């Protein structure tokens, strides 16, 4: 039998921890176990009916064929109108590209720009896919630790110290997965001031959670704050989170025409084009009534407050109140060094996550997977009832731990 030879780049990347956690939860549930799942990075709401109905009508009308590799004109127009309406940003048609999810767009932008050894600055904690997507495209992720004391946000001094002649990209994710941190306009302006001194550095700003910001605040787009850096900024977004359309797989990006053209060329040789029916649905999402987004935001704010209060009531756990997204990132340092009833020692946040799954039937993800320990990533994109049930179980499990002697 002939050995299949796998190239070195794929061998360097790891499976997505969030996808692995989801698979484990499914396996445990299939075996009959009752699991409260706090791992899911997707809305628990259904896609709004008017979007589904519009997609059905589009399919019946024949919108089922190949489209342009960078998306339909209607979809690109809807994205341009969205940026103008919500952020006051003007993008021309050749500065917009549509993809099969925001994730594909990030990957393809790295493919289009990274040469071997180019560096990508990734503030930690980070969404798990950024570093692996850089690696598989020949880049080297440069991690910059962003402490809880700094609000889990990159500071100008830390950015300056991380930049080298090999730096190609800075990745900014605000609102952030996994911490919920949101950069203010002043904080973005301070980072932009550093970037102006380093013209070789491009900025990838992932704004997929932009509509989930709480306490009456609004997320600022990086290009709003630093319009003079638009010629080296790629803004990533999509319909997955805001409109509960994760499975429709439509993302979009806006940036300099030269980069957008290169990305579109690569997309034409990989997926040919995004789904025509999904694009029709996304046009309706972006141009139609936005009440669903406001309702989802209000529901998530209630859930955020509930889960933060309940986590802070757990022994050994502290949790800052995130400004956005639908995740919390509780500090579990108070559980490190504890011992379970079976005599096992808790040495890391991974041990905490495994303990909660085994003893409480609660699935969370360890902070080490996101680049900063000892924390857990917990999604509150689930019902109030599940939040209460899960945190009750967590409290009972944490109370069973004992300090090592």
Q: Helices (DSSP H) in 35-128: which residue ranges?
A: 49-60, 73-87, 102-113
Same domain, 21 and 130: no
The pLDDT of residue 9: 75
Same domain, 267 and 300: no
Side-chain half-sphere exposure of 280, counting CA atoms within 13 A:
20
Side-chain half-sphere exposure of 236, counting CA atoms within 13 A:
27
| Domain end among 261, 288, 315 | 288
Question: Rounded to whole angstroms, how far apart are CA atoms 295 and 301?
Answer: 10
Task: List the CATH number of the domain containing 54.
Answer: 3.40.640.10
Show the beta-strand stretches assigned E in 321-361: 327-328, 338-339
Same domain, 124 and 224: yes
Same domain, 348 and 385: yes
Same domain, 151 and 78: yes
The pLDDT of residue 31: 86
Question: Rounded to whole angstroms, how far apart are CA atoms 178 and 379?
Answer: 9
Structural domain containing residue 321: 8-46+292-399
With respect to residue 104, please indicate whether it lies within any of the assigned structural domains.
yes
With respect to residue 306, please indicate whether it lies within any of the assigned structural domains.
yes
Same domain, 163 and 229: yes
Same domain, 164 and 206: yes
With respect to residue 244, please indicate whether it lies within any of the assigned structural domains.
yes
The pLDDT of residue 27: 84
With respect to residue 53, please indicate whether it lies within any of the assigned structural domains.
yes
The pLDDT of residue 24: 77
Question: Rounded to whole angstroms, how far apart are CA atoms 126 and 218?
Answer: 21
| Domain end among 222, 254, 288 | 288
Same domain, 391 and 278: no
Same domain, 198 and 119: yes
Question: Rounded to whole angstroms, how far apart are CA atoms 109 and 261?
Answer: 10
Same domain, 12 and 129: no
Task: List the CATH number of the domain containing 369.
Answer: 3.90.1150.10
Overall domain count for the chain: 2
pLDDT in tens, 232-250: 999 999 999 999 999 999 9
Same domain, 141 and 262: yes
Same domain, 378 and 277: no
Q: Which residues of the chain have pLDDT under 50?
A: none
| Domain end among 246, 272, 288 | 288
The pLDDT of residue 30: 86
């Amino acid at each position: 039998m002939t050995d299949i030879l796998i190239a070195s780049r794929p061998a360097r990347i790891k499976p997505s921890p969030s996808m692995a956690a989801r698979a484990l939860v499914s396996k445990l549930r299939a075996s009959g176990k009752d699991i409260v799942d706090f791992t899911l990075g997707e809305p628990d709401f259904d896609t709004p009916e008017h979007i589904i109905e519009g997609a059905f009508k589009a399919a019946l009308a024949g919108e089922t064929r190949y489209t342009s590799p960078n998306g339909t004109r209607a979809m690109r127009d809807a994205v341009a109108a969205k940026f103008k309406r919500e952020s006051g940003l003007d993008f021309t048609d050749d500065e917009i590209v549509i993809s099969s999810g925001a994730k594909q767009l990030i990957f393809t932008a790295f493919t289009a720009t990274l040469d071997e050894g180019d560096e990508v600055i990734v503030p930690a904690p980070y969404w798990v896919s950024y570093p692996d997507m850089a690696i598989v495209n020949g880049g080297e992720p440069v991690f910059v630790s962003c402490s809880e004391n700094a609000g889990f946000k990159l500071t100008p001094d830390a950015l300056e110290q991380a930049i080298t002649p090999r730096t190609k990209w800075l990745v900014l994710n605000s609102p952030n997965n996994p911490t919920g941190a949101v950069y203010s306009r002043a904080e973005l302006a301070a980072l932009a001031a550093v970037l102006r001194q380093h013209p070789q550095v491009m900025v990838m700003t992932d704004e997929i959670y932009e509509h989930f910001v709480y306490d009456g605040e609004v997320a600022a787009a990086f290009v709003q704050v630093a319009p003079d850096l638009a010629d080296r900024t790629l803004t990533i977004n999509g319909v997955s989170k805001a409109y509960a359309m994760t499975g429709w797989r439509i993302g979009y990006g806006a940036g300099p025409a030269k980069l957008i053209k290169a990305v579109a060329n690569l997309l034409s040789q990989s997926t040919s084009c995004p789904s025509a029916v999904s694009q029709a649905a996304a046009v309706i999402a972006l141009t139609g009534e936005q009440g669903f987004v406001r309702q989802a935001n209000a529901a998530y704010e209630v859930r955020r407050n509930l889960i933060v209060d309940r986590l802070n009531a757990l022994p050994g756990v502290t949790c800052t109140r995130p400004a956005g997204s639908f995740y919390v990132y509780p500090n579990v340092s108070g559980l490190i060094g504890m011992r379970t009833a079976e005599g096992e020692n808790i040495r890391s946040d991974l041990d905490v996550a495994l303990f909660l799954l085994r003893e409480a039937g609660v699935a969370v993800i360890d902070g080490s997977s996101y680049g900063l320990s000892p924390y857990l990533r917990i999604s509150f994109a689930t019902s109030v009832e599940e939040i209460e049930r899960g945190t009750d179980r967590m409290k009972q499990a944490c109370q069973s731990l004992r300090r090592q002697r």
